[in-house]
Amino acid sequence: MDAVKNKTKIGAPPACRVLAAAIFVACALLLPAAISGGADDAVPISGFAPARVAAQRELEQKLRAIPDAAHAESNLRHLTSEPHMAGTEASHRVALWLRDQYRSFGFDAEIVSYSVWLPQPREITVELTKPVSRKLASPEEPVEVDKDTSDKRITPAFSIYSPSGEVTAPVVYVNYGMQEDYRTLGSSGVHVEGKIVLARYGKGYRGIKARLAQEHKAAALILFSDPKDDGSGAGQTYPNGPWRPMSGIQRGSIVYTQLYPGDPLTPGVAATASAKRLAPAVAASLPQIPTIPINARDASVILENLAGEAVPTDWQGGLPFPYHFGPGGAEVHMKLEMDYQQRPIYDVIAKLHGTLDDEWVVMGNHHDAWVFGAADPGSGTATMLETGRALGELARSGWKPRRTIVICHWDGEEPGIIGSTEWVEANRTELQNKAIVYINTDVGVNGPDFGASATPSLKELVRDATREVTDPRSGRSVYDAWREHAATFTGEISGTARQMPTAQGSGEPPISALGSGSDYSAFFDHAGIPSMDLGFTGEYGVYHSVYDDFYWMKHFGDPKFSYHPTLARILGTIALRLDEADILPFDFPAYALEIEHITTDRIRRAVRDEDEQALEPALDAAAKLSISASQASEALRAASSAPIETAKASQINHAIAAVEQAFLAPDGLIGRPWFQHVLYAPGSYTGYSSIEEPGVTEALGRNDSATLRHEAESLAAAFVRASARLDEVTRLAQPASVSHPSAAR
């Protein structure tokens, strides 16, 4: 943002902002007890009347005693028994098995199928033609101790949604292939038009790399995993360690999910057999230049022969020779032939019906994998199965869920978050009326370090649940181990590139904002369902490769299968608290605080002089939102301190769950209307990581005053809607004889 200055000019905030800040500080002092049991209970639980806390704790303890390592290991062994890519019969077999497992647990389970536009590779040719001739795109090498790596059913590595094409051209190395890399190339006088660009994985979603290569008029894109990033530069490589060997290839989708996820031909509507479909040529999410991933060994053949100027120090990877920009020295011939067809995908939807069948706790994980998928997604699938088994055992022992619990296993996540998106698009109205939360896990376990992303109102609930579960390695709570690790951890949740923030000095382990790259996206970004994403992470270098299999998990990811049941206990505890709560334990003051921080402390200081006035309504509305959040919190705390009539509690809880939907802009973000959440969305040029207040933030980055004004108006309107819904929560939660505090204003 070269032209955007740090601002102090807006000066003293209006009186309403001062009042909001004062009320918010007072409310923050009460947060530990907000929406909790009364002071007469030694250990209250948020959202539960004191008289119900003991029974809830007993129920949770019963659940946490059920998940075990043997079941989790058996689940994963079955799930990784064959490659099961989306759109194949093997993926269908996994779905059938999952359906039957949930039926055996006592769930009402079914398969929901959609017809989506999916390719399979027919021909992949990559070869160096100058200065010598050499065939590239070699397959991953089998490992003697790991028989699965020799499986003849493995599909050759490819970039799903690459178009077919044939290109012969000089190569230019573009580092990570992100925006700043193309700026460096331009300042060095290197142009990529008509060239094949070679980019290493990292720093952003591969679909962004494809889009940028296309925008810079490259003829084709080759992707590779540099050993500096997730191979020998990080540690011992497979099979001696957890990191990517030289022959390892990261498969992956390059569809433009930053525009919209799901089936490329049916944006915004479910991909049923009768759905009206776009022509592929006009589907905005489909890339237009041939793209293929190769391994580091093949990439070294290209890089070692590149001529041109030497690259900057931070562009140098882990191969044992100096890297050069090109072009010159190396020419490559690529031929890709893709078989595009309408192919079926299979979602598994399992319901454990509760007394209140119009309130749903929804949980999910995808079941399709690039190959065997032990970590991604098998660890999450095996864990979710254990959660479902535990809930089923509680039900068989006489417990009846208060709310309906819906556990979903999505197909087609790897190609572009398809299965979950299509289901949400098909059921959006019902979900907005019934779903109180969506709980996601994807790469459930690939190490011992807990991490989470969540909507701000649910962050404390996640922390509370981890306080109840023991960390297998340390013997302390997961919360304590997480807090200690978070003080220094600045890496990624392996595979999905979800950035974890550093600790902010509060002493609490950090929970990041929801971006994209997994199945919560349609729930949160499109339908406004409060969401979270949980998992245990570690040293994981075999992402989307043949080596992400049972042997890798057994030797490196979770050798004793102790973290799989640990995650099941956390997921189950969260599910039970949301299922059984008298008043849903949503922390709205925490949400308002994040909004105030983003809008006032960051956006306000970044806006240019001529655009200051455009932001004023949003600043005022954010201040009012803080007042409404504080009042709602106080009213909910009082309401949950004693037994509450079921009908009234249901009214309050529906109002609580609907607050998130207030942050949806009816017309969506400018340029990508599928994304409707005005507070969080994946960045247009990051793809995975979240952008806060994305419409305003990205307009600021482009110095686009017209878009900034529009997005600031949309933001202010969302804050006003959210305040009104919180005021309704306050009204509903108060005794009938108490007037609403805002009525006098």
Other CB atoms closer than 10 Å to residue 704's CB: what's the count?
15
Please state, in angstroms and rounded to a whole number, the distance separating the CA atoms of residues 548 and 239: 11
Contacts of 451 (CB under 8 A, 6+ apart): 482, 493, 498, 500, 512, 534, 535, 536, 537
How is residue 589 written in tokens?
Answer: 């003051």
Please state, in angstroms and rounded to a whole number, the distance separating the CA atoms of residues 39 and 41: 5
Contacts of 661 (CB under 8 A, 6+ apart): 432, 527, 528, 529
Q: Please give the full DSSP string across 130-141, using - where no structure is assigned.
A: ESS-EE--PPPP
Gap between the terminal Cα atoms of the chain = 40
How is residue 659 written in tokens?
Answer: 């607050």
Give the CB-side neighbour count of residue 200, counting CA atoms within 13 A.
26
Residues forming beta bridges with residue 331, ordered by sequence position:
130, 170
Give the residue among 278, 350, 271, 335 at the shortest CA–CA distance from 124. Answer: 335
Contact between 446 and 38 (Cβ < 8 Å): no
Give the residue among 372, 368, 293 at the shortest CA–CA distance from 547. Answer: 372
Contacts of 291 (CB under 8 A, 6+ apart): 159, 162, 210, 213, 220, 221, 222, 223, 254
Catalytic-labelled residue, pool 82, 413, 414, 660 = 413
Residue carrying structure tokens 């190339």: 185
Other CB atoms closer than 10 Å to residue 430's CB: what's the count?
11
Give the CB-side neighbour count of residue 224, counting CA atoms within 13 A.
31
Rounded to 5°, angle at Cα 557 from 555 and 559: 45
Q: What is the helix (H) or strand (E) element at residue 704, kind and residue range?
A: none
Contact between 177 and 209 (Cβ < 8 Å): yes
Contacts of 100 (CB under 8 A, 6+ apart): 109
Other CB atoms closer than 10 Å to residue 239's CB: what's the count?
17
Q: Please give the full DSSP string across 488-511, using - where no structure is assigned.
A: T---EETTTTEEPPPP-SSSSPP-
Is 492 among the residues known to form the active site?
no
Rounded to 5°, angle at Cα 375 from 372 and 381: 85
Give the residue among 220, 210, 207, 208 at the shortest CA–CA distance from 164. Answer: 220
How is residue 297 written in tokens?
Answer: 């060994």
Q: Are strands 435-445 and 356-366 parallel, antiparallel or unpaired?
A: parallel
Could you give the angle at which helices 646-658 and 612-639 cross, rounded to 10 degrees?
A: 160
Please state, in angstroms and rounded to a whole number, the distance separating the CA atoms of residues 68 and 37: 31
Contact between 338 and 163 (Cβ < 8 Å): yes
- Residue 420 DSSP code: H
How is residue 81 written in tokens?
Answer: 């028994």
Reported in sequence order, the residue ranges of 316-369 that DSSP labels E, i.e. its strands, are 331-352, 356-366
- Residue 156 DSSP code: P
Q: Are strands 449-454 and 492-493 parallel, antiparallel or unpaired?
A: unpaired
Q: Are strands 331-352 and 403-410 parallel, antiparallel or unpaired?
A: antiparallel
The CA–CA distances, whole Å, from 52 to 316, 339, 723 equal 60, 58, 31
Give me the active site residues, please. 413
